Structure 1
Amino acid sequence: MEDIDFSDPRWLLNYFHLIGLVSFILNSIGIYFLIFNTNRLGNFKYYLLLFQLSCVLTDIDLTILVQPIPLFPLFAGHVYGVLFTWFNMQANTSAVTVAFVAVIQLESLIVCFVKKHQGVAILLNKHILSKCVINALYVLCLIFPFFVCAGANSISLSREDALIYIKKVYPKGYLQFSNLPNFVVYMKSQNTIIFLVTLFFAASFGFLCLCFTIYDIIRMMADLKLRISKVAYEKHSEALRSVIIQFITAVLCMAGPMIQVLILVFEIPQMNFISELIFAWFATHSSINMVSLFIFFPPYRKIIAKGLKKTKVNINLPISSMGL
């Protein structure tokens, strides 16, 4: 087993502070745009707003409230965030909150796709899901976060049991662990492997379902283009582009946690440093999402272009008034 680095990764903690602030600013701008400048999207903007708020919640929890630090190759870690320093919340509970809000964020994106898919399906009167299927999906979205949290909590060890386990499998790190005020250890047992593999395949299945949904929406949009006005089609097209952009950025960033599962299962070299990079990668997802929307989502791009043009005019006015 590799030696565990118990030194504070200052670069990661500083990055959490920086990216948390950047993401909060970018998401605040995005929320403002959604509320006041996207009336063309109709009621669908409120579903996008739900996803945007879930992004904010995930960012705050990960980069401010928890700030997780891995202690691999043991399946362990500790936290530096506000939940511990101000409220003395245990590391396991803090980690569970990150899992909870991350799952809610992904489910919010799924709800956006289902809403857009059914909106187009109703207009074309095909591929309409029954109310039972829709309600079952919503119930699953309510249950699954609690399932993930319950599973994560069930494989964690109490502090006393964790120290006994560490003394057995990593005796040279016993003193360092005993001096940590707050840490969590997950024993690498059969139940742990089953839980991680289940999460991996659940995420993979959800990804495939979303890909199929996108494919079906695109096919229906081609048919819809021939049946509705250009203005109405552009409204649906813009909404679809928004969720596709957010889906792509979510997949790119959620690839990190899935890679993390593989790292834990197969114990690759330098796994602690790689895990720190993955934590930083995941913390960046919200900022990447917003920058992508500012660049590729037409309503946002037009708002920014209009604002830049107005700023340029205001700058040129004083120069013109001086006769230059």
Structure 2
Amino acid sequence: MIMFTEAEVMSFSYAVDFGVPEWLKLYYHVISVVSTVISFFSMYIILFQSGKMDGYRFYLFYMQFAGWLMDLHLSTFMQFIPLFPVFGGYCTGLLTQIFRIDDSFQTTYTAFTICLVASALNSCFVRKHQAISKISSKYLLDNVTYCIVIFLLNIYPVIAASLLYLSMLNKSEQVELVKSVYPNLVDKFASLPNYVVFDSNIWAIVFFAFIFFGCTYTLVLIVTTTYQMFKILDDNRKHISASNYAKHRATLRSLLAQFTTCFLIVGPASLFSLLVVIRYEHSQVATHWTIVALTLHSSANAIVMVITYPPYRHFVMLWKTNRSFHFASSQYQRSTLPNTRIQTERSIAVTITTH
């Protein structure tokens, strides 16, 4: 059971605002449109402007789609209004207003979509790692093992969401929790058509432990695969064409750049957990901004992907109809200067072919 001092309990009626912030409601509508436009554009160029990229494009598409799904749920279907320092809140989105979906289920689905983004990111790194491993076959997995790895990565969101759902209280238990822990807020909670409040129990502990394991595993996976991929490319540079070498490095650098946007998920989630522990006086406003950061992820990820991957960047900068993009060696090969690494990488350019 969550425990507070008497002074903390008595202060909740003054510290908690049960109203819907107008700026947050407006932000939900705006970011929903912006995220959808940017995400759909990014998914279009992944499918149709990736040149001769192999099946890896579908993993990139998966990651973009997962990010958009998370943002769409948070900004349109759920529209969560946190009530910190009360560990809970209520939803005002379409799932509540039209479909009357329980807030506990909506919160569970939020955990699923957030973990799905992590699973998609891990899948991208594994897929790229296997593509580069084919150069030397040193770290290459057989088809069965590869499928098992991908399956385990993508079952993670289902397990995480299930554990969170098991940790939730039923409606009668939530009412009792409000009466015992937040007595001054009983009338305000009663005025809400639906709400969700959380309590610490064994399933909640298991859930947070599982999330911590997932974050740690993701970090280890990305660091390990990245090191191995760069090492394979450097060790076998003489055995692959300059264009393939540059294409692999460009794709890998873009993927690493996209990984940095995950801090828009990890950062808010960590802050959210910290606020639960310390019960900061202005935590309700702080949690509003954590939601803002979360819903920026898919847009930020799409923009970073376009900026850091040359074919996509050139498509946006020189966007005209009937254009295709591919990596090719430029005329630097005709130069009599030594073929240094810098010259080789610079000689790989994006050639725009107008039909």
Both structures adopt the same fold (TM-score exceeding 0.5): yes
Task: Assess if the C-alpha contact under 8 Å between 1:238 and 1:297 holds in 2.
Answer: yes
Question: How far apart in 1 are the matches of 2:83 and 2:275?
Answer: 13
Question: How far apart in 1 are the matches of 2:196 and 2:161?
Answer: 14
* Match 1:232 to one of 244, 248, 251: 244
* Match 1:294 to one of 306, 309, 314: 306
Q: Does 1:107 align with 2:119?
A: yes
* Match 1:14 to one of 11, 14, 26: 26
Q: Does 1:41 align with 2:53?
A: yes
Q: Does 1:195 align with 2:207?
A: yes
What is the match of residue 171 of structure 1? 183
Question: How far apart in 2 are the matches of 1:216 and 1:262?
Answer: 35
Task: Assess if the C-alpha contact under 8 Å between 1:20 and 1:60 holds in 2.
Answer: yes
Question: How far apart in 2 are the matches of 1:305 and 1:147?
Answer: 42
1:87 CA drift (Å): 0.4
Q: Does 1:146 align with 2:158?
A: yes
Task: Flag structure 1 segments of 5+ consecutive residues without an equivalent.
Answer: 311-324
Question: How far apart in 2 are the matches of 1:107 and 1:122?
Answer: 23
Question: How far apart in 2 are the matches of 1:85 and 1:138?
Answer: 37
Task: Flag structure 2 segments of 5+ consecutive residues without an equivalent.
Answer: 1-7, 323-355
1:237 CA drift (Å): 2.2
Question: How far apart in 1 are the matches of 2:150 and 2:217?
Answer: 17
Number of residue pairs matched by the alignment: 310
3-state secondary structure, aligned to 1:124: coil
Deviates more, 1:228-237 or 1:85-94: 228-237
Deviates more, 1:140-149 or 1:58-67: 140-149
1:277 CA drift (Å): 0.8
Task: Assess if the C-alpha contact under 8 Å between 1:68 and 1:78 holds in 2.
Answer: yes
Deviates more, 1:158-167 or 1:135-144: 135-144
Question: How far apart in 2 are the matches of 1:88 and 1:293?
Answer: 37
3-state secondary structure, aligned to 1:72: coil
User: Quick one: which amino acid aligns to residue 137 of structure 2?
Assistant: N
Q: 1:263 to 1:218 in 2, by over 3 A?
A: farther
1:204 CA drift (Å): 2.8
- Structure 1 moving runs of 4+ over 6 Å: none
What is the match of residue 224 of structure 2? 212
More helix by share: 1
1:194 CA drift (Å): 4.5
3-state secondary structure, aligned to 2:193: coil
Question: How far apart in 2 are the matches of 1:184 and 1:235?
Answer: 48
* Match 2:289 to one of 255, 270, 277: 277
Q: 1:269 to 1:221 in 2, by over 3 A?
A: farther
3-state secondary structure, aligned to 2:66: helix
Question: How far apart in 2 are the matches of 1:136 and 1:207?
Answer: 20
Deviates more, 1:122-131 or 1:285-294: 122-131
C-alpha deviations, 1:243-277, integer Å up to 9, x for none? Answer: 21211112343221133223223433422221111
TM-score under structure 1 normalisation?
0.88
Question: How far apart in 2 are the matches of 1:116 and 1:224?
Answer: 16
What is the match of residue 88 of structure 1? 100
3-state secondary structure, aligned to 1:123: coil
3-state secondary structure, aligned to 2:289: helix
* Match 1:50 to one of 55, 59, 62: 62
Deviates more, 1:13-22 or 1:128-137: 128-137
Question: How far apart in 1 are the matches of 2:238 and 2:90?
Answer: 56
C-alpha deviations, 1:216-264, integer Å up to 9, x for none? Answer: 2222222233221111222222321332121111234322113322322
1:9 CA drift (Å): 1.8
User: Quick one: which amino acid aligns to residue 118 of structure 1?
Assistant: Q
What is the match of residue 268 of structure 1? 280
Q: 1:258 to 1:140 in 2, by over 3 A?
A: farther
Question: How far apart in 2 are the matches of 1:259 and 1:119?
Answer: 36
Question: How far apart in 2 are the matches of 1:267 and 1:208?
Answer: 32
1:299 CA drift (Å): 1.2
Question: How far apart in 1 are the matches of 2:81 and 2:209?
Answer: 22
